[in-house]
Amino acid sequence: MAPLAWRLAQRWCPSSLQVISFPVLQLHLNRTAMRASQKDFENAMNQVKLLKKDPGNEVKLKLYALYKQATEGPCNMPKPGVFDLINKAKWGAWNALGSLPKETARQNYVDLVSSLSSSLESSSQVEPGTDRKSTGYETLMVTSEDGITKIMLNRPTKKNALNVEMYHEIMHALKAASKDDSAITVLTGNGDYYSSGNDLTNFTDIPPGGVEEKAKNGAILLREFVGCFIDFPKPLIAVVNGPAVGISVTLLGLFDAVYASDRATFHTPFSHLGQSPEGCSSYTFPKIMSPAKATEMLVFGKKLTAGEACAQGLVTEVFPDSTFQKEVWTRLKAFAKLPPNAMRISKEIIRNREKEKLHAVNAEECSVLQGRWLSDECMNAVVSFLSRKSKL
Ligand SMILES: CCCC/C=C/CC(=O)SCCNC(=O)CCNC(=O)[C@H](O)C(C)(C)COP(=O)(O)OP(=O)(O)OC[C@H]1O[C@@H](n2cnc3c(N)ncnc32)[C@H](O)[C@@H]1OP(=O)(O)O
């Protein structure tokens, strides 16, 4: 039994070990496990020196900590004094890795460097004023053309489920789009789904601090992620090409327009998953569609068709799937020709007085979810999905 699978089993379904298909869960976990060789590690160390942009102090601390853990094991330095700020930060980062095995630290170091190389290269490829295609992302396709930056979720074989890397890449792409010369930004999905929501395997990679630390990190990530949507300064449009689940639905309340194919459905099965609403939907949905209709979706998990979502104000307009892409993109190209500063300022005046409230709602939702992720209701639902026992 792999230690992670064992920990999951013990914590997630303490009283019903016999009903979980461990071989299936373990197979799933093993499939995602990778090992970096010493050579990969050395290559990554060389790559760090070649980075064209400073990745920032937080990332440098992570790199330092992973390097030390990979080469020396758990932190063996005495804690520096209060005024030794730099060494204290380094010590803190290393010490936080606890007893993380050397091989895992080596793998994490290699992964982090590889994600840095791609994301920093992609932003440095951006030439203002020229159309471009960013190939630096692992989980997205980002293009900028005709005044439109298109961020396409690109894990079609996983129904565009949002894994941790995708959360980070979307934040990166949104930050880049907020500064580029496009007039509007579009989020859409590749393949038959818009997105199946949070990737439930995000719950399997348990850090040394256990599930509590995992839940805390998840809440921090979610808060930052949703914050990027709240603060996005240009018109942000969702082109919902197919079914949308979970967080990909709740976020729609923060978009400026939502165009949907008539194949799309909108499903927020939070109670089924032992979870609670996020993406500011506990505030935006009752305002958009009335508290009772929001309750049907967010509490009872009622799945809406595109037509129903449009009637309730969550979707701006629905198009037949056969003409969806053509009609929507023609319309978006016309919008993108409007004066960008006027659009920005008009968005600001529509949205700004709500911003503070939205950030407060976001913080509260993340804190409630952090607790839900530790509940048996949630853990059982995730184990059940991973062991192929249930789907929505
Ligand atoms: C840190 C921030 C956290 C924010 C929290 C957000 C809350 C949410 O978003 S809650 C919503 C979570 N999503 C789900 O519960 C959906 C789970 N998926 C399904 O029920 C089904 O996959 C589906 C109904 C979406 C599609 O069913 P279908 O039969 O058409 O396709 P599958 O064979 O099931 O899927 C293909 C492939 O994709 C994998 N997959 C799909 N969705 C997810 C997901 N959300 N997480 C992880 N993996 C997903 C699925 O396992 C299949 O993978 P394999 O081909 O490897 O078996």
Question: What is the pLDDT at residue 118?
Answer: 62
Decide if 10 is inside a domain: no
Q: H or E segment at 318?
A: strand 317-319
**Site to substitute for ligand 1 among 27, 163, 196, 267, most atoms within 8 A of C-beta:** 196
Q: How confident is the model at residue 12 (pLDDT cuts 50, 70, 90)?
A: very low
| 175 pLDDT higher than 90 | yes
Q: Does residue 112 sit in the same domain as residue 213?
A: no
Q: How confident is the model at residue 391 (pLDDT cuts 50, 70, 90)?
A: confident
Gap from CA of 53 to ligand 1 centroid (Å): 35
For 72, phi then psi, to 5°, come to -120, -10
Decide if 8 is inside a domain: no
**What's the mean pLDDT in 11-30?**
33
Cβ-count burial 83-100 (b if 16+ within 10 Å, e if not): eeeeeebbbebbbbbeeb
- Neighbour count for residue 9 (Cβ, 10 Å): 18
- Across-strand partners of 142? 134, 151
For 306, phi then psi, to 5°, come to -60, -40
**Site to substitute for ligand 1 among 25, 159, 222, 280, most atoms within 8 A of C-beta:** 159
Q: Does residue 194 sit in the same domain as residue 275?
A: yes
244 CB near ligand 1 (under 6 Å)? no
| Distance between CA atoms of residues 249 and 247, nearest Å | 5
Nearest CA to ligand 1 atom 22: 391
The closest of 302, 201, 290, 200 to 249, measured between CA atoms, is 302
Q: Does residue 147 sit in the same domain as residue 251?
A: yes
- Reported ipTM: the value is 0.99
Beta strands in 124-280 (DSSP E): 132-134, 140-145, 148-153, 184-189, 236-240, 244-245, 257-261, 265-267
Decide if 17 is inside a domain: no
Q: Does residue 262 sit in the same domain as residue 298?
A: yes
Nearest CA to ligand 1 atom 45: 199
Question: What is the pLDDT at residue 24?
Answer: 31
199 CB near ligand 1 (under 6 Å)? yes
Q: 216 burial class (0-12, 13-18, 19+ CB within 10 angstroms)?
A: middle
**Percentage of the chain lying above the pLDDT 90 cut:** 63
Q: Does residue 209 sit in the same domain as residue 79?
A: no
Q: Does residue 113 sit in the same domain as residue 145?
A: no
Residue 362 belongs to domain spanning: 140-390
Q: What is the pTM of this model?
A: 0.73
Report the CATH number that the domain containing residue 96 is assigned in CATH.
1.20.80.10
pLDDT greater at residue 119 or residue 169:
169
246 CB near ligand 1 (under 6 Å)? yes
Residue 195 DSSP one-character state: B
pLDDT in tens, 187-218: 999 999 999 999 999 988 888 899 999 999 99
Least confident among 6-20, 51-65, 118-132, 153-167: 6-20
Gap from CA of 157 to ligand 1 centroid (Å): 10
Nearest CA to ligand 1 atom 54: 158
pLDDT greater at residue 238 or residue 110:
238
Q: Does residue 219 sit in the same domain as residue 112?
A: no
Rounded to 10°, the helix 164-179/210-230 angle is 20
Gap from CA of 246 to ligand 1 centroid (Å): 10
| Distance between CA atoms of residues 80 and 19, nearest Å | 49
CA neighbours closer than 13 Å in the CB half-sphere of residue 56: 4
Question: What is the pLDDT at residue 10?
Answer: 43
Gap from CA of 158 to ligand 1 centroid (Å): 7
- Neighbour count for residue 147 (Cβ, 10 Å): 17
Gap from CA of 361 to ligand 1 centroid (Å): 26
Count of domains for the chain: 2
Supply the mean pLDDT for the chain.
85
Locate all alpha helices (DSSP H) within 126-246, ordered by sequence. Answer: 164-179, 210-230
Q: Does residue 112 sit in the same domain as residue 161?
A: no
Gap from CA of 196 to ligand 1 centroid (Å): 5
Q: How confident is the model at residue 225 (pLDDT cuts 50, 70, 90)?
A: very high
Gap from CA of 381 to ligand 1 centroid (Å): 12
158 CB near ligand 1 (under 6 Å)? yes
pLDDT in tens, 259-318: 999 999 999 999 999 999 999 999 999 999 999 999 999 999 999 999 999 999 999 999
Decide if 30 is inside a domain: no
**What's the mean pLDDT in 12-35?**
35
